[in-house]
Structure 1
Amino acid sequence: MGDAALRLTTLAEELLGAPLPVRIRAWDGTESGPPGAPVLVVRHRRALRRLLWRPGELGLARAWVAGEIDVDGDLYAVLDLLAGIVWERGDDGLAVHPLRDPRLLAAARGLLKLGGALPPPPPPAEEVRRRPGPLHTKRRDKRAISHHYDVGNSFYELVLGPSMVYSCGYWKDGGTLEDAQRDKLDLVCRKLALRDGDRLLDVGCGWGSMAVHAAREYGARVIGVTLSREQAAYARKRIAEEGLTDRIEIRVQDYRDVRDGPYDAISSIGMAEHVGEVRYHEYAEQLLSLLGSGGRLLNHQIARPPERDESSYRLDEFIDRYVFPDGELTPLGRTVTSLETAGFEVRDVESIREHYALTLRRWVANMEGDWRRAVRHSSPGRARVWRLYMAACAVAFERNRIGVNQILAVKSPESGESGMPLRARTWN
């Protein structure tokens, strides 16, 4: 009679020094763990070899992408319960890795017996190998963007829905995903105080949703820039169908190469996460230089909490290897400081953290509702990557492990007349 599940549960609890919060179902059909708890399914013993060679997040991620582990039941509940196993906070508030504890040595012997002493399986094909050299060069950024966004427009149509907006919506009670995305785009336009004939630069324009909304609803003349050729092709087709080619131009261009200012307004929605710490001041100065006097910037960006010791901060290995290569999250305060140092006057900051959790859950539901199509338009591994990353991010936003903020900043003239209303948030 097999006992793999019991042995795995025992190993995990010895390592953690606490009861395992999930139930385990092993490849031999056995189960162990608290009755009624969400079930973590270990389909193949290869998953154990991955954990043996790369304990923690990356080993688990590789096993998930390869289909060697799965969840039977509520994926969000399992991710929430397991979050403290992969990362937790020590007494000093710093991030620690419990799976890099001396107890790992004892657990390793048990994993060897269960998983075998064979070499580690190769990483799934969807994994991006870490590359040497400086981060956030133009060439490297272009490759990173292509990895994430050139997956296929049909795949993104399924996940994102008709709006084709890949950032969080702005939700009202009872609204749909399409309503929330329309309301978010409109909120951005109102914060930027767009008027007929204004020149808008949309940095990281995606599939053209912001450009279309600003031109159609506010009469703006829009330049959208993206590094993704697939996004650009989709956006141009969409713009032509809307009859807006006289008002919108889409370019495959790095934001650092835009030279045709001044613009009345700049929107940067979900793009600054790709800029990187080493380039952020350059990013802020470049956008400032492209604005005319009194021009506004709306910077919509995911943020992480600051660490007490920032030298201890590590990129999320799963996200870095499988989702957003070289992507970096910075604390809100650091972003505001960078914008102010460049010369912007920051006039408003709005946290919309809960809105992103709601959006991500809708995207996951879109995938799960037509899983075969999601796989057909990507690959089994790629679809599993997207499902895991979006569900995990939803939990992270709900638990305040990450946030998202809209920062409204102005290039104030020397006279100090910002053009802002006396009463804040007149756009609400």
Structure 2
Amino acid sequence: MVGSSTLQRQPSRDQVPHTSSYHVVADLLAKADIQVDGERPWDISIQRPGVPEQILSRGNLGLGETYMAGDWDCERLDEFFFRLLSARLDKEIQPLRLVIHSLRARLLNLQTTARAWQVGEQHYDLGNEFYQQMLDPRMTYTCGYWRNADTLQQAQEAKLDLVCRKLQLQPGMRVLDIGCGWGSFMSYAAEHYGVECVGVTVSREQVDFVKARYPHLPLDFRLMDYRELDEKFDRIASIGMFEHVGRKNHRIFMEVAQSCLAEEGLLLLHTIGKNVRGTVPDPWIDKYIFPNGDLPCMGQLADAVDGLFVIEDVHNFGADYDRTLMAWYVNFERAWPAFSDALGERFFRMWRYYLLSCAGAFRARDIQLWQLVLSKNGLVGGYQRPE
């Protein structure tokens, strides 16, 4: 079940005044076939006064925070966001109160070496047991590849194998994983392709976990920022980390990767991306989920590799992230009773909002998932993407 009955509240609709802001929000949502206090799964019910005002003055930050507080509810948040984003309603609300957030994202480097550790501490260090319950057995916290898969585990192993085949891994190769997470790619590549791997991450919890889990494999896990790397590798993968690099550092990332890659090597970059250049990170996601995150657009990726790499292949399977997030949500809700006392209702609503709003965004094709294969000098005869 996608909807949660645990936290549903009965609305006191007679206590919620139909102010001018209420009518503005209701009229906007009607463009996406969403009703306020409607009966369909994607309709919303407002429980307390002030929600419309928060939405209009603070955009998704106000929408998300009032949801976390229990001020409004929706049975199918994923469908709510799918309709909202498909109708481009997010473009119609541009709160002046978020101007400072926009200027910070555009003008400052929010992903400096010192700040890079914040996302590890706030998000990835949440607890290994928590992520074990939500993710697949290898703890792969990136988009699965569902082309021939029926389960989350199958989709994640298919993605890992696809990465290995795209990189044309051979036994004995030395492989770097920038943003190695819980070691899913490294362990899979070592077990199935006979390679040695070095992985870097800014999460102390991840390093402690993977060192204990894979002592039998030729894997070297390091707690360090990618900008400290200075050694050669036959292949490089970065799977779901580039979203944390930031627009001010895209070129630096590519320069580090180019310096570390052997002359005949390949780099696979797997990243979420946005459709429009110049937009800024979502303020709610930035505050509560991924601090200092910044999705690249395709033009920014091209700018970053200019003169450093040849783009051999671009593969978009962003629609698969919808199905991945929904599978994570089912696991999260099933496991929630074990974490409810420690994390509390506000966290439940925050995490539900995160997983289901992102699923809706991928469903609406508002954001994408790209895999790029890059070479330093271009492959003689061209590159053939494996099926």
TM-score normalised by the chain length of structure 1: 0.78
Aligned to 2:5: none
2:301 alignment partner in structure 1: 335
2:29 and 2:364 map into 1 onto residues whose CA distance is 22
The one-letter code of the counterpart of 1:178 is Q
Task: Report what 2:358 is aligned to.
Answer: 393
Q: Pick from 15, 19, 23: which aligns with 1:4?
A: 15
Per-residue deviation, residues 290-315 of structure 1 (Å, max 9, x unmatched): 011111100001110124xx3xx232
RMSD: 2.8
| Counterpart residue number, 1:284 | 254
Report matched runs for 1:98-177 at 5 Å. Answer: 134-177=109-152
Cα deviation, residue 174, structure 1 = 4.9
* Count, aligned residues: 367
**Alignment partner of 1:13 out of 23, 34, 37:** 23
- 1:346 and 2:311 aligned: yes
| CA apart distance, 1:205 | 0.3
1:330 corresponds to which letter in structure 2?
A: P
* 1:199–1:264 CA contact under 8 A, matched in 2: yes
Q: 1:209 aligns with which of 174, 184, 187?
A: 184
Q: Separation in 2 of the partners of 1:275 and 1:423?
A: 27
Runs (5+) with no aligned partner, structure 1 = 25-31, 89-94, 102-129
State the Cα distance separating 1:133 from its structure 2 match.
6.8
Deviation of the 1:97 alpha carbon? 1.6
The Cα of 1:394 is off from its aligned counterpart by 1.2
Which amino acid in structure 1 is aligned with residue 242 of structure 2? Answer: A
Deviation, structure 1 residue 202: 0.4
Contact 2:16 2:47 in 1 (8 A): no
1:62 pairs with one of 62, 65, 74: 65
CA gap of 1:421–1:79, structure 2 versus 1, over 3 A, is: same
Say whether 1:264 aligns with 2:234. yes
Tell me which residue corresponds to 1:75: 77
Are 1:366 and 2:331 counterparts?
yes
Alpha-carbon deviation of 1:230? Answer: 0.3
* Structure 2 contact 86–364 (Cα < 8 Å) conserved: no
User: Helix, strand or coil: the match of 2:356?
Assistant: helix
- 143, 151, 160: which is aligned to 1:185? 160
For residues 127-160 of structure 1, give each alpha carbon's deviation from its aligned partner in whole angstroms, at most 9, with x where no partner exists: xxx9997421111111232211111111111111
Range with greater deviation from structure 2 (362-371 or 316-325): 362-371
Determine if the alignment matches structure 1 residue 97 to structure 2 residue 93: yes
CA distance in 2, matches of 1:48, 1:17: 11
Aligned-pair identity (%): 33
Query: What is the rounded CA distance, in whole Å, between the counterparts of 1:351 and 1:384 in structure 2?
Result: 30
Quote how far apart the aligned CAs of 1:421 are: 5.7
Contact in 1 for aligned 2:16/2:48 (Cα 8 Å): no
The residue aligned with 2:269 is 299
Query: Which amino acid counterpart does residue 262 of structure 1 have in structure 2?
Result: K
Matched, 1:253 2:257: no
Structure 1 residue 378, shift from structure 2 partner? 3.8
Structure 2 Cα separation of the partners of residues 357 and 316 of structure 1? 18
Contact preservation (8 Å) 1:315, 1:328? yes
Q: Distance in 1 between matches of 2:252 and 2:29?
A: 49
2:126 is paired with a residue whose SS is: coil
CA shift, 1:381, in A, is: 2.5
Q: Aligned letter for 2:346?
A: G
Say if 1:220 and 1:378 are closer, same or farther in 2 by CA, change over 3 A: farther
Look up the SS of the partner of 2:254 in the other structure: helix
Greater Rg over alpha carbons, structure: 1
Say if 1:6 and 1:351 are closer, same or farther in 2 by CA, change over 3 A: same
CA change 1:11–1:150 in 2 (3 A) is same
Give secondary structure in 2 for the equivalent of 1:64: helix
How far apart, in 1, do the equivalents of 2:303 and 2:339 lie? 41
What secondary structure does 1:366 align onto?
helix
Name the residue aligned to 1:120.
none
Find the residue that maps to 1:306 and give its secondary structure: coil
Whether the aligned pair in 1 keeps the contact of 2:136 and 2:153 (CA below 8 Å) is yes
Q: 1:409 aligns with which of 374, 381, 387?
A: 374
Structure 2 unaligned regions, length at least 5: 1-11, 98-103
Going from structure 1 to structure 2, the CA distance change for 1:292 and 1:69 (only over 3 Å counts) comes to same
Higher relative contact order (CA 8 A, sep 6+): 2
Corresponding residue for residue 106 of structure 1: none
